A and B are shown apart, each in its own frame.
Chain A
């Protein structure tokens, strides 16, 4: 079903913490079905920007509209269209994978919760974990669970914060596969990372965030990794 309004339209988005501008004016438009990769070093403001897009943090300046709705209002219906994967798994360490997903299914009002939870666990490769608490999971398993959690309610927009961090190569490849499949299925994806090579197979567009601003935007998929790396270095090394 086509939306007239783009999933994300941000103008002059800014956020200060204790007087320090972490995000200092970001303009961003993301169209439906895009997979936008935001590249940037630590401290560039990637996490804060993503949390603003996830409606977790209110901007101190600027406008944000998700699917045409003003982010400041953030009605429940809007939140239902977002899926957020953070640095942390957002899952309770003492409960099992099934219990965590069942809980979030209840919160999101997912129909046929039991079946959906089982399906997602299988998709994430976690169906064998049974009653094991999430505390015992490896980083790769936790990341897949976090992704499953974000997909429970079939969101139109998926926001991921450095999803490949601390994953071994096999786990990282598996994650990329799943994300590419989601992109091909028509979901809109925005993710942050500092790993240009990992982002290349997934991105339909790339941009560089440095010191709270967009320093460079590409015009299409990452075909030439070296070129993008150079642009990244230029945008983050040079004074913005």
Chain B
């Protein structure tokens, strides 16, 4: 059962890569670069998934004190920011040949950068909050507040640059998913990336659990023997 996730991830990822690079026709306007779209969009799905896992696990930790929930939140935050960063970089790589700029403050991009910042502050808090066990609770509160902020951020970024040309609609290929293989490609790569994210989160959470177990064993050895 434990092997199912890695196997499924590898399988779908291979399928996604094959479809995205071999099967799908080259997009008329943007050319080969457009193929990045399949993984770029999926990466953000993973980033948002991570965020919601952080929120859910944080709520569970506050409610029940479950350390497993706390470890899951920590793992999901790290993997989430990983995918968010990768997604932003892929977006830059795509943007430069198409728009001529590496970056722009349009609504969706602004929102993603804010999300990335909130993730970062969560990780900073865990890293530099100190040794106190209370850090877990504070991080959980931050996780919940972050997720509550998302809808407000979505609404507020629409206020920005009302006059600026909406370059963004093209980005999702909203007008451009003409070939059915494009839709299939998006679906498969989304599943592949989400499975990859889930697998990485699981690995990270397990790693956290093992670290804690080692720490407990060390404490017990010190208490027993005095010399360790």
Contacts and interface: CB of A to CB of B under 8 A. Distances in A.
Contacts of B223: 21
Most buried by B among A16, A19, A20, A21: A19
A17 B219 contact: no
A17 B216 contact: no
A18 B215 CA distance: 10
A19 B219 contact: yes
Interface of B is mostly: helix
A18 B216 contact: no
How many of chain B's residues touch chain A, expressed as a range? Answer: under 10
A19 B215 contact: yes
Contacts of B132: 17-18
A18 B223 CA distance: 15
Interface in B180-228: 215-216, 219, 223
Interface in A13-36: 16-21
Contacts of A20: 219
B173 to A, nearest CB: 50
B29 interface: no
A18 B133 contact: yes
Contacts of B133: 16-18
A17 B219 CA distance: 12
Nearest to B218: A19
Nearest to A58: B65
A16 B67 CA distance: 14
A20 B133 CA distance: 11
Nearest to A24: B223
A28 to B, nearest CB: 22
A133 B133 CA distance: 35
Nearest to A20: B219
A189 to B, nearest CB: 30
A215 to B, nearest CB: 16
Contacts of A19: 215-216, 219
Nearest to B223: A21
A76 to B, nearest CB: 22
A16 B131 CA distance: 12
Contacts of A21: 219, 223
A48 to B, nearest CB: 13
A17 B133 CA distance: 7
Contacts of B216: 19
A19 B131 CA distance: 10
A169 B86 CA distance: 68
Interface string B94-106: 0000000000000
A94 to B, nearest CB: 27
Nearest to B216: A19
A16 B220 CA distance: 13
A19 B220 CA distance: 10
A20 B215 CA distance: 10
A143 B219 CA distance: 37
A17 B216 CA distance: 12
Contacts of A16: 133
A211 to B, nearest CB: 9
A21 B219 CA distance: 9
B142 to A, nearest CB: 20
Given A17-B132, A19-B219, 11 more contacts: A16-B133, A17-B131, A17-B133, A18-B131, A18-B132, A18-B133, A19-B215, A19-B216, A20-B219, A21-B219, A21-B223
13 contacts: A16-B133, A17-B131, A17-B132, A17-B133, A18-B131, A18-B132, A18-B133, A19-B215, A19-B216, A19-B219, A20-B219, A21-B219, A21-B223
Interface of A: 16-21
In the A-B complex, list the 6 residue pairs whose CB atoms are closest, starting with the nearest.
A18-B131, A19-B219, A19-B215, A18-B133, A17-B133, A18-B132
